[in-house]
Structure 1
């Protein structure tokens, strides 16, 4: 149910952060949390009342009174795409049980959503018959009865198609570092004939989903990056010593992978791109001014920088924009600071 229905139906409207599937009064229901109100608005406007599986089975979509989901298990009944470290757990959740207690849902009553602040529903959507509703995605239009699926199944795909890249600036290494924030990148291939597109192969499908949820729509080198699942299930390397001009790289055994160790604290420190970066592994001789000068050398505007009081090897640095922070992370992660220390850079949870 989870892989073949809920995720496939909801993901075309935007990154889905969390999903819970449960049974109430003998009927399957679900709670889904998007990363922004616009995606939730579009999903409701498009899917509510649509036929699914059979001609007499219609899906009903409405806004929940819950404001966020805190999922404890990643399995067929619940999934947190931002947490790769959650255990699988087991068992069916019924609404006869207190679901808010079972999952830690924030039970705040909110008014019916009428549109995100500053959001105009017809942004990039075609209008028809006076309706501000985007066209129904193929993944929904082509749903067939169970066992007769006619739409692509990306549930186990770990390869991403990344498009709208700046061909004058993007490199396989840059994509490796950026996508490596959200999983271990095994291979990167920039298309030889269309350098605005690339394939990025993650370690598994969960990491691929996580990368899409955080990086799709992010600005990179002056362009808005688009990330989605590829039709390919692996990135092929060139054979026979053929020259690919450095556009295809294998990072399977890279020492820069952040998630090599099961249960690593890196799994708990995954955050969306922000203008504030978390810096670690800093030598004791490095000062705040040293860090400011280093990041300014990449062309960034440094607004603030401070070391943690209880750990002089860790710091936060706030740059002029999220895009600047993305560029700085690519340029300076693993930068040699001397004393056998290389800088570790990630997106921060908090601002300065």
Structure 2
């Protein structure tokens, strides 16, 4: 079954395709109207696809017997050693309902497949992740946002008073939780190892708000922040979702900021400094610059990202919110 955007679109498709041959003289299409008025698609794979929701990534259903492939392996199949390539590109029509803004949006949206993990499999049953192993004096709501926003929109973050070093993170959907668990579970951060799992709660409630060790609030609502990176198809298509690494990509930095100033910024915020620096060539009219920062280890890069992602760099008469990503 195929759902169209309107009855008129379905009528046009039926009129054009019903009775047509896929190949000359054979494979004649027979098209009828279906009884259901809406289709409920829960995943994007070779059996179903929702063209309005590119984030419904494909999920393997076990290693059972596979059907013989007519054309061999799909180019987006998992690599034997982990991360693999991106999933198929998803075409978006020019009048797609998924395009939420008037800005120019690429015609194709792609999401990488999640990395396989021995500690987690399946699909999150809640849009809330529970994170434990947080450093009591170096982690707060904003720093959790800086780290988790790479894998999906963040709605709310709340530290649990009854369980020190533990926080609940409400994300945009269950698939964002899946990506966060896949990439952030068991990483080391400020000398402690994070444990990221699915919470039994389906929403974060701002109850028992208290003050953290750094003086900030134990609860923060990020639903309206402009720093969420998956709020439209255009934004989502620019995100390269991948596991933490020793190299960070920085962007939206004013051209006057030098390598030494970035190193000074690391020292002032008590995070490790980078060991290699690369600035990308920018157009003469560009108001910002971007580049790469390589750290001595993945852990040092994650710590720098957690603290400095979205740091506001102020210059006379202007301010820039610098962004980092793995």
Asked if the contact 1:333/1:343 (under 8 Å) is kept, the reply is: yes
Question: Residues 326-337 of structure 1 correspond to what in structure 2 (within 5 A)?
Answer: 326-337=302-313
Asked if the contact 2:129/2:170 (under 8 Å) is kept, the reply is: yes
Report how far residue 187 of structure 1 moved: 0.9
What is residue 345 of structure 1 aligned with on the other side? 324
What is residue 166 of structure 2 aligned with on the other side? 197
In the superposition, relative to structure 1, how do residues 184 and 309 fare at CA in structure 2: closer, same or farther (>3 Å)? same
Report how far residue 302 of structure 1 moved: 2.1
TM-score between both structures, scaled by the size of structure 2 = 0.60
Match of 2:143 among 150, 166, 174: 174
In the superposition, relative to structure 1, how do residues 328 and 78 fare at CA in structure 2: closer, same or farther (>3 Å)? farther
Distance in 2 of aligned mates of 1:341 and 1:276: 22
Distance in 2 of aligned mates of 1:317 and 1:249: 29
Per-residue CA deviation, residues 54-78 of structure 1 (Å, 9 max, x unaligned), is xxxxxxxxxxxxxxxxxxx952668
Question: Residues 9-24 of structure 1 correspond to what in structure 2 (within 5 A)?
Answer: none
Asked if the contact 1:279/1:314 (under 8 Å) is kept, the reply is: yes
- Matched positions, count: 225
The answer to whether structure 1 residue 269 and structure 2 residue 237 are counterparts is no
In the superposition, relative to structure 1, how do residues 226 and 267 fare at CA in structure 2: closer, same or farther (>3 Å)? farther
The answer to whether structure 1 residue 304 and structure 2 residue 276 are counterparts is yes
Asked if the contact 1:160/1:227 (under 8 Å) is kept, the reply is: yes
Distance in 2 of aligned mates of 1:248 and 1:205: 21
Asked if the contact 1:184/1:203 (under 8 Å) is kept, the reply is: yes
Give 1 or 2: higher helix fraction: 1
What is residue 258 of structure 1 aligned with on the other side? 229
Per-residue CA deviation, residues 148-203 of structure 1 (Å, 9 max, x unaligned), is xxxxx964411111112222322111111111111111111111122221111111
Asked if the contact 2:134/2:166 (under 8 Å) is kept, the reply is: yes
What is residue 128 of structure 2 aligned with on the other side? 159
The answer to whether structure 1 residue 290 and structure 2 residue 261 are counterparts is yes
| Unaligned segments of structure 1, at least 5 residues | 1-72, 110-136, 141-152, 348-352
Structure 1's consecutive aligned runs of 4 or more residues displaced over 4 angstroms after TM superposition are: 76-79, 86-89, 106-109
Structure 2 counterpart SS, 1:340:
strand
The answer to whether structure 1 residue 212 and structure 2 residue 181 are counterparts is yes
Asked if the contact 1:154/1:229 (under 8 Å) is kept, the reply is: no
Report how far residue 87 of structure 1 moved: 7.0
In the superposition, relative to structure 1, how do residues 297 and 88 fare at CA in structure 2: closer, same or farther (>3 Å)? closer
Asked if the contact 1:275/1:319 (under 8 Å) is kept, the reply is: yes
Structure 1 counterpart SS, 2:67:
coil
Structure 2 counterpart SS, 1:188:
strand
What is residue 244 of structure 1 aligned with on the other side? 210
Asked if the contact 2:159/2:219 (under 8 Å) is kept, the reply is: yes
What is residue 5 of structure 2 aligned with on the other side? none
| Unaligned segments of structure 2, at least 5 residues | 1-41, 59-65, 82-118, 212-216
Structure 1 counterpart SS, 2:226:
coil
Distance in 2 of aligned mates of 1:302 and 1:316: 10
Larger Rg: 2
In the superposition, relative to structure 1, how do residues 183 and 335 fare at CA in structure 2: closer, same or farther (>3 Å)? same
Report how far residue 96 of structure 1 moved: 3.3
Report how far residue 244 of structure 1 moved: 2.8
